[in-house]
Amino acid sequence: MKKSICKQRICKKRICQQRICQKRICQQRICQKRNNFVGRKVKGKKVNNKKINKKAFPKKKDSYNISKYILINFKNSDFNFKVPKQLIPTNPRLNLTRLMVLNRRNMTIQHKDMNDFNSYFVTGDTLVLNNTKMYKSILYGKKEKNGSDLQVYLLREINPNEKSWEVLVQPARKIRIGNRLFFLDENNEKLIAVVHDNTISKGRIIKFHCDLPNKIFKNKIKNLGKIQSGLIKSGLYTSFKKPFIDFSNLQTIYAKNEGSTSPHFPGLHLSKYILKKLEFYGINISYVTLHIGHDTYEKIIVEDIQKHKMQEEYFKITQKACNFINSSIKSQNKVCAIGTSTLRALESSVSPSNTLIPNKKWTNKFIYPYYKFHIANSLLTNFHPPKSTVLPLLAAFVGYDFLKYAYDIAIKNKYQFYNFGDAMLIL
């Protein structure tokens, strides 16, 4: 008779083997995680021929998840930082713009100016510009009941036939559904509008009462804005605590298609001299259109950035622009997007074969880590404010740790931030 073997010992042995296997699998997954996470590769590399200080990269508590398919969920607080007030210009700069160049391959940072921008491109590369143009979007009027002053910021046209527009109003608390507003033109004739509805973004939908054709009506609104800008200089309409800022005089030199509520600030860094020099060296310049909405430069309110919703913006990409860009992609040359709005337009019209296709539609694409970019491999942009919708896009394009380190270097070297600040080129 064979001796009976204790079944409990066999079970314990099997459990131990299972634990060993699970431990090996976990180790393999963690190794894969370290290789896949771009931001952590910065450690041990050199930036400006100096080793990066480890304190510049604060570890998150959940830095590595054991699962292979779940990465770090970045929060809105991860994109919060302080910018000194002296580094935030309030007016356009007259002196030469500084340029910080980030190289993602070797993790290096160079300090240049915009005159050196051409040296980073060769024949066959393509620059993609956003040729949107800002219209005269601020109107000053009065409330019909009590004659109180008000501001109306035109955001976008909803229905040309009904002459309905989405707007922001100030003071917002006193403007309700059903209120009648009027604006005086050059002949002291009233242009009446009625508040039709509220929007999710704390705006209003108004309908103008006018029998003129749509083109003539739009020209009337433009002339109305120009006339009222003179009234503000003369001292009228100064009772607002935080008046809307009119940037309609700030246009890029290649602005063409009207419809944006905000200037294309990164495009202001490009002068005629820079563009002509790029064309002389055989660098392709293509144009796309994305009408920038007011939500682009707004701060994210929710803590979970994945729950943030961008407002829709209209974009248009022609076949001519696709030909230039796709040829650079096939030849493995640079495709540089000027501004994050241009980058979002390109990523909103990608074919299954990862090429650009002509398109014209509305997009609310919001990009955050770990998005994989298909078209552009370089980017020219500004230094943006904390908790803005642009920082998650840059973290996905550059890597969170390297971007955070670059912003720390920018503050130490006194780069100018925000709309009228310096530029950053990402290669």
Write down the pLDDT at residue 37.
Answer: 42
Whether residue 358 is preceded by a cis peptide bond, meaning omega within 30 degrees of 0, is: no
Q: How confident is the model at residue 220 (pLDDT cuts 50, 70, 90)?
A: confident
Q: Is the pLDDT score of 189 beyond 50?
A: yes
Q: Could you read off the pLDDT of 73-124 as tens digits, one per residue?
A: 788 888 888 889 899 888 877 677 899 999 998 999 999 999 899 999 999 9
Residues 391 and 80: their CA atoms lie apart, in Å, by: 10
Q: Which amino acid is at 113?
A: D
Comparing 367 with 173, which gets the higher pLDDT?
A: 367
CB-CB contact of 126 with 325 (8 Å): yes
Write down the pLDDT at residue 154.
Answer: 81
Q: Is the pLDDT score of 322 beyond 90?
A: yes
Write down the pLDDT at residue 101.
Answer: 94
Strand-by-strand arrangement of the 98-103 sheet? 108-113, 98-103, 423-426, 378-382, 335-338, 126-130, 284-290, 313-317, 359-363
Q: How confident is the model at residue 180 (pLDDT cuts 50, 70, 90)?
A: confident
Write down the pLDDT at residue 22.
Answer: 54
Write down the pLDDT at residue 27.
Answer: 52
Classify the C-alpha dihedral 197-200-202-206 as positive or negative. Answer: negative
Q: What is the pTM of this model?
A: 0.72
Q: Could you read off the pLDDT of 56-78 as tens digits, one per residue?
A: 444 443 333 333 444 567 888 88
Nearest in space to 388 (alpha carbons), one of 74, 60, 80, 57: 80
Q: Could you read off the pLDDT of 145-156 as tens digits, one per residue?
A: 777 778 888 877
Residues 407 and 417: their CA atoms lie apart, in Å, by: 10
In this predicted structure, which of 237-241, 344-348, 360-364 has the lowest mean pLDDT?
Answer: 237-241
The per-residue pLDDT of the chain, averaged, comes to 78
